[in-house]
A and B are shown apart, each in its own frame.
Chain A
Amino acid sequence: MADIVLDKVSKRFPDGTTAVQDVDLEIADGEFVILVGPSGCGKSTTLNMIAGLEDISSGELRIGGERVNDKAPRDRDIAMVFQSYALYPNMTVRENMAFPLRLAKLDKETINQKVDEAAKVLELTALLDRKPANLSGGQRQRVAMGRAIVRQPKAFLMDEPLSNLDAKLRVQMRTVVSRLQKQLGTTTVYVTHDQTEAMTLGDRVVIMRGGAVQQVGPPQELYDHPRNLFVAGFIGSPSMNFVHAAVEDGKLRTALGDVPIGERVRRELEAGDAPRELILGIRPEHFEDAALIDDETRRRGMEFEAPVDIVESMGSDKYVYFTVEGERATAAELEELAADAGAADFAGGGSNLVTRLSAESPVREGESRRVWFNLEKIHLFDPGSGRNLTLHEGRSAGALAD
């Protein structure tokens, strides 16, 4: 077991493209870190560099305090789990799991004992004599995990290990992975493009975009205090709503009405190069049916009225989609996020608002409904740089903060 340190690690390909740019990351011993981002953000390349499957163009990689830039994968003592599982088709489950041990020239008895142990942990004992072709997706995935854990390596590297499973099994395996990592206490770097996995699994999450790290932190912190527009839009499901906001007379003119701003944001906006147009971000759960809130809560936010487009009842609460007039928020980050979600050409006119209202709300499709939203929870972003203007010393305090 060991810590992993990436010190200004970059990857440039011969054709000139930079896949990973100056990534600084310190992963503590036993920590579970998730690399997440849309496709092509450099997360897999970063993982491959840690594994030694890709050369590091510049910067330094240390595992357990030792520089390993020039070491072959087999000398780094790391185990990797692949999205395709990469099981050796000609070997049985037992042989697959024993493969790294056999290469390490352990004696037969130790190998058998270790394989049996790992098989027991992953409930593979009954399958040991089968070949991968005769296993289900979930079983193959467990064998791949088994092959990684038998060696007791310094670190586990996982490249979207659950992406090929169906949704139900994925949720189940998520807890298996999580429990296994806690039990073994092995440093783990886990790559995924699924933000739910990122939120639920990791001690810390690293959000990447275009080869650069956007923000590193515990999942809740990323959710509550996103440093920029990209992080805000990437984390959360359904994702944060973004509304165009024009700065006028010390107020923000938005499709949700005129939003007042506090001292701190005002100071930000008085700077010479401050943008005149902003993007207002608010999460679905920070809306509520205006009829259902008490007066004290009402004071912390403001209300607007809009036609209800669609109501999705989830049982515990309702997802209500509104259509609001006005300009759509535009920024490079948002377009990238939409493209990743495959919805780039699917936006329609006006802005769509996703809200999560209480299940008690009698809201109906087609009617016009008054909705309250929490001003303390809104974020303001600079559309040019994507920076979160409401963030102060790493904490987001809403638009009204003084």
Chain B
Amino acid sequence: MSVNATPAGAQAAAEAESEQSGGRHAAVPQQRSRRGSRAPLSENKRAERRLGWLLCAPAALVMVLVTAYPILYSVWLSLQRFDLRFPDERQFVGLENYVTVLTNDFWWTAFGVTALITVVTVAVELVLGMGLALIMHRTLVGRGIVRTAALIPYGIVTVVAAFSWRYAWTPGTGYLANLFDGSAPLTERASSLAIIMLAEIWKTTPFMALLLMAGLALVPEDLLKAASTDGATAWQRFTKVMLPVMKPAILVALLFRTLDAFRVFDNIFVLTNGGNETSSVSMLAYNNLIRGLNLGIGSTMSVLIFITVAIIAFVFVKLFGTAAPGSDDGERR
């Protein structure tokens, strides 16, 4: 930057440097004024900046240690043949593991199951969550109680809830299984998947509702009043006014839930343990990595899951781009 060229001695050079780091401040032609009044300000700014980095550093360091390192390490593992049962055969194999996984039926079945669970649960949760959010938003009496009650399922530990579902569906002792003449739904694929999705939906709808309720609070009361005087029915007010205004909040909720749902594990682990082809990709990765001790294949699956999740997130963020308030206005001008 040209600021450095001013021949004003060491101090000016130091100032120039700080001005560079300070960003937009244009170089002032008179050296005197720069030396006089700007110097202490820049100094302060620099100290502030340094303090900012220092304050961030521990968090950044922890982030690197707990996320960046494991991610990179699993990528490294996925490029190797590495089975702890045969540690001597460890060998760098490039993308061979990926070929193995991506041509494997088990992987694609699990992927299909995961995608199905993700799409169905998120869709149902969105609808139910919206309903719940509207109820919580509109409740005038006992607001606190209603909201607390609605959030209870989300507060229960997933594994505990999953066990209670499992017992409920166990023939002979479970009250839900008895409703269906003591059949054993967890022993068949379709009904098992349905129960897994039911448990997921039951558990995370409140979370969806909570996020959507925050979105509902964004809809100004006047807008709805205006729509009703403009002649809109309740449904039209909902679809034409509320939903568009809430769109960013809905996308956030969908993003969170989709990413969560794609990594579904606990419910499947407890309810079917992956039996009858009900494994999700996370289950499969776990089975290979922890149970099978095949670090190479397991890591490959983990990396593939990571990539899928990243793609989902990327797509959603692209959608946000046009939904964020004000951002689509610029191009109209």
Residues of chain A touching chain B, judged by Cβ–Cβ distance below 8 Å, are 48, 51-53, 72-74, 76, 78-80, 82-84, 86, 88-90, 92, 99-100, 103-104, 129-131, 133-134, 147, 151, 157
Question: Are B333 and A79 touching (Cβ within 8 A)?
Answer: no
Residues of A near B244 (CB, < 8 A) are: 88-90
User: Could you list 19 further interchain pairs (A-B, Cβ under 8 angstroms) beyond the known A53-B228, A74-B232, A131-B329?
Assistant: A52-B229, A53-B229, A74-B229, A74-B233, A79-B229, A84-B222, A88-B240, A88-B245, A89-B325, A90-B244, A103-B230, A129-B332, A130-B329, A130-B332, A133-B325, A133-B326, A133-B329, A147-B226, A157-B229
Residues of the A chain whose Cβ atoms lie less than 8 Å from the Cβ of B307: none
A76 to B247 CA separation, bound complex (whole angstroms): 31
* SS class, residues of chain A in contact with chain B: loop
Q: B236 contacts A103, CB within 8 Å?
A: yes
5 A-B residue pairs with Cβ-Cβ distance under 8 Å, sorted by A, are A74-B229, A84-B222, A86-B222, A89-B325, A100-B231
CB < 8 Å neighbour of A73 from B222, B229, B328, B332: B229
Q: Say whether A80 contacts B241, CB under 8 Å.
A: no
B interface secondary structure, majority: helix
B225 on the A face (CB < 8 A): yes
Q: Say yes or no for B156: interface residue by CB 8 A criterion.
A: no
**A73 and B333 within 8 A (CB):** no
Closest to B243 in A: A90
A80 close to B226 (CB less than 8 A): yes
Cβ contacts under 8 Å, B240 to chain A: 88, 99
B231 touches A103 (CB 8 A): yes
7 closest Cβ pairs, A-B complex: A86-B226, A90-B244, A100-B230, A86-B222, A74-B231, A103-B231, A73-B228
A100 vs B241: C-alpha distance when bound (angstroms): 12
How many angstroms between the C-alpha atoms of A130 and B227 in the bound complex? 20
Interface check B220, CB cutoff 8 A: yes
List residues of B (195-254) whose CB comes within 8 Å of A's CBs.
220, 222-223, 225-233, 236, 240-241, 244-245, 247
CA distance A59 to B59 in the complex (A): 65
A86-B225, A88-B244 known; A131+B230 contact, CB < 8 A = no
Distance of A104 Cα from B227 Cα, bound (Å): 12
A86 touches B326 (CB 8 A): no
How far, in whole Å, are A275 and B236 apart by their CA atoms in the complex?
60
| A83: chain B residues within 8 A (beta carbon) | 222
Complex-state Cα separation, A133 to B329, whole angstroms: 7
Which of B225, B226, B229 neighbours the largest number of chain A CB atoms within 10 Å of its CB?
A: B229
Residues B232 and A80 in contact, CB atoms below 8 Å apart:
no
CB distance from A380 to the nearest CB of B (A): 44
For residue B329, give the distance in angstroms from its CB to the closest CB of chain A: 5
Q: Are A53 and B231 in contact (CB under 8 A)?
A: no
Cα distance A381–B236 in the bound complex, in angstroms: 54
Candidate in B228, B230, B241, B247 with the most chain A CB atoms within 10 angstroms? B230
Q: When the two chains form the complex, which single residue of A82, A86, A104, A131 contacts B231, counting CB atoms closer than 8 Å?
A: A104
Whole-angstrom CA separation of A88 from B228 in the bound complex: 13
Closest to B323 in A: A90
> If the complex has contacts A129-B332, A131-B329, A133-B325, are A90 and B245 also in contact, measured as CB distance less than 8 A?
yes
Minimum CB–CB distance for A48 against chain B, Å: 8
B230 and A82 contacting across the interface, CB-CB below 8 Å: no
By the criterion CB–CB under 8 Å, are B332 and A86 in contact?
A: no
Which chain B residues (148-205) contact chain A, with CB distance < 8 Å?
Answer: none
Question: A82–B226 contact, CB under 8 A?
Answer: yes
The interface residues of chain A lying within 8 Å CB-to-CB of B220 are 84, 86
**Known: A82-B222, A86-B223. Is A51-B329 also a contact (CB below 8 A)?**
no
Closest to A135 in B: B329
A321 to chain B, nearest CB (A): 40
Which residue of chain A has its CB nearest to the CB of B230?
A100
CB pair B225 A99 closer than 8 Å: no
A82 touches B225 (CB 8 A): yes
CA distance A52 to B220 in the complex (A): 18
Chain A nearest CB, measured from B220 CB (Å): 6
- Measured between C-beta atoms, what is the minimum distance from A117 to chain B in Å? 18
Cα distance, A72 to B234, chains bound together (Å) = 11
Q: Which residues of B contact A76 (CB under 8 A)?
A: 229
Residue of A nearest to B333 (CB): A134
Of B222, B231, B232, B328, chain A has the most CB atoms within 10 Å of the CB of B231
* Pair B229/A51 contact, Cβ less than 8 Å: yes
Q: Are B229 and A103 in contact (CB under 8 A)?
A: no
- Chain B residues, Cβ within 8 Å of A48: 225
Per the bound structure, the CA–CA distance linking A134 and B172 in Å amounts to 66
Residues of chain B lying within 8 A (CB to CB) of residue A90: 244-245, 247
Cβ-defined contact, A88 with B223, below 8 A: yes
For B325, what are the chain A residues with a Cβ–Cβ distance below 8 Å? 89, 133
What is the bound-complex CA distance between A138 and B231, given in angstroms? Answer: 25
Provide the bound-state CA to CA distance between A248 and B210, in Å: 70
* B233 contacts across to A, CB distance below 8 A: 74
A131 near B332 with CB under 8 A, answer yes
In the bound assembly, the distance between CA atoms of A80 and B230 in angstroms comes to 8
- Which residue of the partner chain B has the closest CB to A103? B231
In the complex, are the beta carbons of A78 and B229 less than 8 A apart? yes
A280 to B6 Cα, complex, angstroms: 75
Residues of B within 8 A of A89 (CB): 244-245, 325
Tell me, rounded to whole Å, the shortest Cβ–Cβ distance linking B186 to chain A: 46
Shortest C-beta distance, B140 to chain A (Å), equals 9
Using Cβ atoms and an 8 Å threshold, which residues of chain A touch B223? 86, 88
Provide the residues of chain B in CB contact with A79, threshold 8 Å.
229-230
Closest partner residue, chain B, to A54 (CB atom): B225
User: Which of A48, A84, A157 has the most chain B CB atoms closer than 10 A to its own CB?
Assistant: A84
Q: A97 to nearest B CB, angstroms?
A: 10
Alpha-carbon gap, A78 to B329, bound state (A): 31
Q: How many angstroms between the C-alpha atoms of A86 and B226 in the bound complex? A: 6
B241 CB to closest chain A CB (Å) equals: 6
Complex Cα–Cα for A151 and B230 (A): 9
Task: List chain B residues, Cβ under 8 A from A151.
Answer: 230
Tell me whether A147 and B230 are in contact in the complex, defined as CB-CB below 8 angstroms, given that A129-B332, A134-B332 are known contacts. yes
A151 and B244 CA atoms in complex are apart in Å by 23
From the candidates B225, B326, B328, name the one contacting A80 in the complex (CB within 8 A).
B225
Provide the B117-132 mask, 1 if CB < 8 A to any CB of A, else 0: 0000000000000000
Q: Which residue of chain B lies nearest to A105 when distances are taken between CB atoms in the complex? A: B231
Asked whether A74 lies within 8 Å of B228 as measured between CB atoms, the reply is yes
On chain A, the residues within 8 Å of B222 by CB distance are 82-84, 86
Instruction: A92 to B332: give the CA distance in the assembly, Å.
Output: 10
Q: Are B231 and A88 in contact (CB under 8 A)?
A: no
Tell me the bound Cα distance from A99 to B236 in angstroms.
11
- Residues of chain A within 8 A of B228, CB atoms compared: 52-53, 72-74
